[in-house]
Amino acid sequence: MRRYGAENHMKKLLILVCTLAIGTAAFAAPAKSAPASAHYTGTIEKYDTATKMLTVKHDGKETTFQINDKSQVMNGKSKADPSALAASAGHTVKIDYIMDGTTKVAEKIDVAAATHTAPAKPTTKKK
């Protein structure tokens, strides 16, 4: 009888060890790596200060970017406040962003000077 008790104890111990091994393997999944950064260049269409959404146009297509507290706005070589983007419509912008689900979250926004074309000079006809 004693032998039966020892075998039963060994089976329980083996089941416990297997259960712990499987449970540990499930929790030891690799950690998510940081999302990859992407780049976008275009012209600022508008910035909504209430929703902190920046709309940029490139090749006729508008794309929106979420601005958060970690977003860095640069106006030339100087740091700027994100609210300054509201007055930057028409300026060229380069954006480094990451994807958060389906949302593009801006990490760095480089605003360049506005690109306006010079008005055409009126032609005068000689009589």
pLDDT tens digits in sequence order for the chain, 127 residues long: 455 566 777 788 888 777 777 767 666 656 666 677 899 999 999 999 999 999 999 999 999 999 999 999 998 888 989 988 988 899 999 999 999 999 999 999 999 865 555 444 555 555 5
As a whole number of Å, the end-to-end CA separation of the chain is: 128
Can you list the domains of the chain with their CATH numbers? 41-114 (2.40.50.320)
b/e per residue, 46-69, with b = 16+ CB within 10 A? ebeeeebbbbbeeeeeeeebebee
What gap in Å lies between CA 80 and CA 82, rounded to an integer?
Answer: 6
In whole angstroms, what is the distance from residue 63 CA to residue 115 CA? 20
